[in-house]
A and B are shown apart, each in its own frame.
Chain A
Amino acid sequence: MAYSEKVMDHFRNPRNVGTIDDASGIAEVGNMKCGDIMKMYLQIDESETITDVKFNTFGCGAAIATSSMATELIKGRTVAEALKLTNSAVVEALEGLPPVKIHCSVLAEQAVKGAVSDYYKRRGLTPPPEAYIDELATEHAYDEEEAAVVH
């Protein structure tokens, strides 16, 4: 198992680490059993643009790198655009992940969706279906075929 240069770059210098006190939406995904927990904070303005995003992650190198990359990919984007973020896009932006680490990218996608979902709920609105989180996916359901395709 070896990480790409891009993964190591984001691991060495993770972007957007931290918390946002008055965040518009927050989500924590993953579980301690598997050893990956990501917490994501979004700041969203009236035009539904993500003006700031921060994360805290407990996990391996890939978990930190995928969190970092996901925040870069959605910063400055609209909520609708952020909901289109897929784990494959995160993997691609990181120039690949080892197959056993694909679940980390799934977690990053879930963290974004979860935080957007929280943003809707805080305003008393029903989150759009795209913000739905498949709980099973965060339990590290590992699809070898999918891993082979995106790697």
Chain B
Amino acid sequence: MKVYADNAATTRMSDAALNAMLPILTDVYGNASSIHGVGQEALKALDGARSKIAAAIGAEPREIYFTSGGTESDNWAIASAVTNGAKNGKRHIISTAIEHHAVLHKLKASGCDVTLLTVDSDGLVTPEQVKAAIRPDTCLVTVMYANNEIGTIEPITEIGAVCREAGVPFHTDAVQAVGHVPVDVGAMNIDMLSLAAHKFHGPKGVGALYCNKKVRLNIFQEGGSQERGKRGGTENVAGAVGMAAALERSVADMDANAAKVAALRDRLIAGLTKIESTRVNGSLTHRLPGNANVCFEGIEGESLLLMLDMQGICASSGSACTSGSLDPSHVLLAIGLPHGIAHGSLRLTLSEYNSDAEVDYILEHVAPIVERLRMMSPVWQKK
């Protein structure tokens, strides 16, 4: 059996996305900037995609800018806020310790004074923390909508309200949230929002940045007049159309999918925590429907992933070896886990394509693998 349980990394494309893209790739191959028929057809397709994405998050079409994905959207939003802030002598940014590296590394490179808010043991930050951190020279608050590792959903509406009151632009990296939980930029007081198609069954290499029309957005890439002159370059029409079709489908099916996936997730978490010396990471109440994240004491994540892969199970971990650095995940350390525990993390992220039988298969295989690795571990002590 092959079980794909790494949907926070990326998802398989939906039929809706693929079927929407194919005719663009084969027939509507024109350049959306061209005057001729096939070019105008491409422009029409692109505008249609923009409208659908805008509708899905409560925005206006002209507030949607197509990008290459979540990382670019995050980088663009931060770069623009930093440049505009500097014009008014504002060089302070507020964010959290558990952001994606697309945000954290960009903030570090910005040269600004950055306040990284701590999170509690569930990974939650409070609007009060944001309010207390705002200074006269704060040019941006950026807080992720939902965490990619532990699935914790932050109080975005309330944080947005705090920012509105203080007159500080508010950006949220909503890459893990869009298509999975309701997002309404107006009601949630969001000024800028990043999303990526491949996290909700769209194609890779395409995403979008929403920017409130009242908030100034600078040019990201010099060139032609594409994306309102702010991001030159021939548009990825098929990608945009695939993203729009995937999002439209995800939003239409959201309630049913969320209920199904959350039920699978809860069964998975309940089964995994039956293994002794196992803890759940992230909030149990403010949590993405598909995210299960646990730590097994006494073992290391990469060997666990390799053994799961040998059984056809695709998962992820926050261990140092899988993060490509010598430290385990900054998110797991930020919620207060010691290094030794953080190294033994397992992230299983589900989608509506997963089944009850697959959850059974995962549970059947995880326990013996954990047992085998613990038997081999010099630090494991049975309690």
Contact = CB atoms under 8 A, between A and B. Distances in A.
Interface stretch (A44-52, A57-65, A77-85, A121-129): A57-65
A93 to B, nearest CB: 20
Interface stretch (B24-32, B53-61, B191-199, B297-305): B297-305
A63 B300 contact: yes
Contact of A35 (B310, B328, B375, B378): B328
Interface string A1-32: 10000001001101001000000000010001
A37 B328 contact: no
Contacts of A101: 321
A60 B378 contact: no
B299 A35 contact: no
A17 B379 CA distance: 14
Interface in A54-110: 56-64, 100-101
Nearest to B341: A32
A121 B379 CA distance: 24
B378 A38 contact: yes
Chain B: interface secondary structure? loop
B376 A57 contact: yes
Nearest to A19: B378
A12 B327 CA distance: 25
A149 interface: no
Contacts of A60: 300-303, 319, 321
A58 B324 contact: no
A32 B379 contact: yes
B377 interface: yes
A14 B319 contact: no
B339 interface: yes
Secondary structure call for the A interface: mixed
B340 interface: yes
Given A56-B378, A58-B298, A58-B300, A11 B306 contact: yes
Contacts of B306: 8, 11, 61
Interface string B285-305: 000000000000011111100
Contacts of A28: 378
A142 B326 CA distance: 10
A58 B377 contact: yes
A58 B328 CA distance: 14
A130 B314 CA distance: 44
A58 B339 contact: no
Contacts of B302: 59-61
Interface string B32-44: 0000000000000
**Quick one: which of B301, B338, B343, B375 has the most chain A CB within 10 A?**
B343
A34 B339 CA distance: 8
A37 B378 contact: yes
Nearest to A33: B339
Contact of A58 (B310, B326, B338, B378): B378
A39 B298 CA distance: 14
21 contacts: A1-B324, A17-B376, A32-B338, A32-B343, A35-B300, A35-B339, A35-B343, A36-B300, A37-B379, A56-B378, A57-B376, A57-B378, A58-B299, A58-B380, A60-B300, A61-B302, A61-B303, A61-B321, A62-B321, A100-B324, A140-B326
Given A11-B303, A64-B376, 19 more contacts: A12-B310, A14-B376, A32-B338, A32-B339, A32-B343, A34-B320, A35-B300, A35-B321, A35-B328, A36-B300, A37-B378, A38-B378, A56-B376, A58-B380, A60-B301, A61-B302, A61-B306, A62-B321, A64-B303
In order of increasing CB-CB distance, the 4 nearest A-B pairs are: A60-B302, A60-B321, A39-B378, A56-B378
Interface of B: 298-303, 306, 310, 319-321, 324, 326-328, 338-340, 343, 375-380
Interface of A: 1, 8, 11-12, 14, 17, 28, 32-39, 56-64, 100-101, 140, 142
